[in-house]
Amino acid sequence: MMKLKALIVDDETHARENIKYLLENYCPEIEVLGTAADVNTARDMVYKLEPQVIFLDICMPSGTEGFDFLNSIPEKKFQVVFVTAFKEYAIKALNANAIHYLLKPVDVDDLKVAVKKLVSTNQLFTENNEQLINYIKSLENLSRTMLPSAGVSRITINHAKGFKIVDPADFVYLEGEGNYTSIIFSDGTKYVDTRSIGVYENMLDSKQFFRIHKSHLVNVSYVKEYLNDGGHFVIMKDGTRLAISRLRITQFLEFFKQTG
C-alpha cells in the first residue's frame, strides 16, 4: 500500500508530537515527513518534501497564520486537515466547505476516520483532476469565510462522483435520512451528501432555512403555501408537499409572522 506523505504544522510542541505519535502508531496509511512550528518553515518544507496531506493548526500566533500560509502557496497539490480548538463558527465554515478537520485534543478514533477520508479523496483526485480544482476552490472559499466580516455564502457538497460548489440560495429543501442529506435544487437536480441534516441546519442561515421536521429543512424563499388540512404542511414552489412536525408548528407560524 502506498502511504500518503504528511506534514504537521502547529506552533505548540506537544500538539505536533501528539499528532505525530498517533499517526505513526495508529494510521499505517500515513507517512509523517516532518513537523514545522511556524509558517515559514512549513512553506519551505512543502516545496522541498511535496506532502500530499498537511495537518494544519488554524490559529497560530497571528490568529490567521494557517490561512496566510495556504494563500502563500500558489499551487496547492495537497489535502489539508485543520486541527483546531475552536468550535461554533470555525466548525460551521469548515463543514460548509467540506474540509477535513479535527478538534483538539485530537481523538484517535476521529483521526482514523479522517485518514480514511484522506485516502479515498486522494484516489478521487488521482482519477479526476477537476475534483482537485474544486477542492482547492473550497479551501479558498474557506479562507474568505473565516474573515470576521464574512459569512457562509458558498457550500461544497460531496456526491457520488466528487465535489460540487454551490450557492445555498439555490436549495429548495433538504431531506435527511440517517447520516445522509438529499439536497433538492431550484433547477430540479438532486444531490446526496454524506453529512447529516443537523450539520446543514447548523451551517445554513437561520433566517433563510427553517427545520420543519426532523427530516426536512426548507428554504423559506421557496415556500409557496401553508396548509392546515388533516395535519400541517408546506407546499414548495416546485409542488412538493412536506409535513410540518406538531412540535415545530408554533415556531413555524411565529417565524413566518416575523419574516412575512
Three-state SS for 134-186 is: HHHHHHHHHHHHCCCCCCCCCEEEEECCEEEEECHHHEEEEEEECCEEEEEEC
Which of 145, 179, 209 is the last residue in one of the domains? 145
Cβ burial of 120 (10 Å; 0-12, 13-18, 19+) is: exposed
Task: Give residue 138's pLDDT band: very low, low, confident or very high (50, 70, 90).
Answer: confident
Which region among 10-24, 122-136, 211-225 has the lowest average model confidence (pLDDT)? 122-136
Domain limits for position 248: 167-259
Average pLDDT, stretch 137-145?
79
Tell me the percentage of the chain whose pLDDT exceeds 70. 90
Q: How far is CA 169 from CA 13, 140, 146, in A?
A: 43, 20, 20
Q: Which amino acid makes up residue 195?
A: R
Query: What value does the mean pLDDT of the chain take?
Result: 87
All three cell numbers of 244: 410540518
- Say yes or no to pLDDT of 150 above 70: no
pLDDT for 218-247, tens place per residue? 999 999 999 998 899 999 999 999 999 999
**Is it the case that residue 64 has pLDDT exceeding 60?**
no
Dihedral (CA of 4, 5, 11, 15) sign: positive
Q: When comparing pLDDT for 82 and 203, which is higher?
A: 82
* Mean pLDDT, residues 165-187: 93
Q: Is residue 152 part of a domain?
A: no
| 251 close to 232: Cβ distance less than 8 angstroms | no
Q: 207 with 239, same domain?
A: yes
- Is 158 part of any domain? no
Q: Are 233 and 243 in contact (CB under 8 A)?
A: yes
Distance CA 97, CA 104 (A): 20
State the pTM of this model: 0.66
Output Rg (C-alpha) for the chain, integer angstroms: 21
Measured over the CA atoms of residue 128, residue 134, residue 136 and residue 142, the dihedral's sign is: negative
Rounded mean pLDDT, 15-38: 95
Distance CA 76, CA 135 (A): 10
Q: Which is more confident, 56 or 149?
A: 56
124 and 210 assigned to the same domain: no
Same domain, 138 and 222: no
In CATH, what number is assigned to the domain containing residue 79?
A: 3.40.50.2300
CATH number at residue 234: 2.40.50.1020
Based on the fold, state whether residues 119 and 231 are members of the same structural domain. no
Structure-block grid coordinates of residue 76 = 496547492
Nearest-10 crossing angle of helices 89-96, 129-145? 160
What is the per-residue pLDDT across 66-114, written as a single tens digit (0 to 9) for each?
A: 777 887 888 888 999 998 877 665 677 777 777 888 988 899 999 999 9
Q: Are residues 28 and 128 in the same domain?
A: yes
Tell me if 176 sits within 8 A of 196, measured CB to CB: yes
Question: Over pLDDT 90: what percentage of the chain?
Answer: 52
- Whether 11 and 120 map to the same domain: the answer is yes
Grid coordinates given for 111? 483521526
